[in-house]
Chain A
Amino acid sequence: MFRYLTIGLFAFTIYILFSGSITLYDILTGLIVSAIASVILAKTLVKEDSKVIDIRRLFWLIAYILHYMTIIELRAHLDVAKRIINPRMPINPGIVRVPYKTKTDYATVLVSNSITNTPGTVVVDLDEDKKILYVHWINVKAIEPDKTYEYISKTFEKYAKKIFD
């Protein structure tokens, strides 16, 4: 039940943002459209009802967005910018294995998209059976799985598990 409401609310927000106006017409049609979209798709988007209303997960999501968008992004941007500006171009590129321990799809996607969105690292592939992400790294500091985990995805996993697992 809650998943239908949450997904419906999500749809309604998208509808109003895209329309760019809030008149009675927008609200009425928005409600109808989001109800239909939610009935069709909520079951494929959310599997566990109880997770949706868990307020702690929402809190962790907001905390993660704040942490990621400020500290993590700034640090990574500065690091890559330095490498670009430096005339000696101090890079040591390579693809490394990074293990992941998340259980749900959303958590795994959050971790890998966070890695990709951070300058300097890009997820090129993932192995679902071995639970390994293949990550292209602009400056390879280590190739051992436990060390790459420490360097690249430890913080992301900490949050992803609390938000989605």
Chain B
Amino acid sequence: MSDATKHVVLLVGSPKGLEKSRSSRLARPVVDGLERRGWTSESLHLHAEVATEEGRERLLGAVDRADLILFAAPLYVDSLPAPAIRGLELIAARQRTDGVERAPRFVSILCCGFVEPSQNDTCQRILQRFADQAGFEWVTGVSLGGGGPISKRARSALGILTEALDLEILVPDEVDRLTRKPAMPRWLYIIGGNVMWRRWAKEYDARDRLRDRPYRRPDS
């Protein structure tokens, strides 16, 4: 690391926020690892920040201070949750309007509810286009699938990512290798997931209504 203290800004694009979201729990070890290497950090929850004028100014101010932006979000219908897109729109508009010359690095961590991490690929490309168009230096996108707690492999990948970010070297292919493989076989995910939904609905006494069709067309 160079002499000057580096600053990482964590942007969390999950509605569940900085404490409870899986996105935040995935990104936090990276931020903590960078802090142990002497970095400073700040963390913002995009849903909260974009909702107020004060928050929007805070968001843009944080981006101005960043040497590295770590963006973490869940996959929502092949893309980002709407408030996370709003945050990116604001940042990109500001970068374009003000002709900002600095080019902080940009890293994304995406997690989807399907077992295949590859289902994040379209959204990673959207984030890369954002980085290009907003004048950031795209570093990499880490994609994780659903299924159980954060795996040992994922933790290991995030550790390698942290070191590469600190040393400002290319992120080793090992990160991709460790995160691209689904956490379990597809058939097992489907069976286990379907059992889980039924159990969850039972808690709300809704198990027998799971297949309700409240908006069915009159002619169908």
A binds B: no
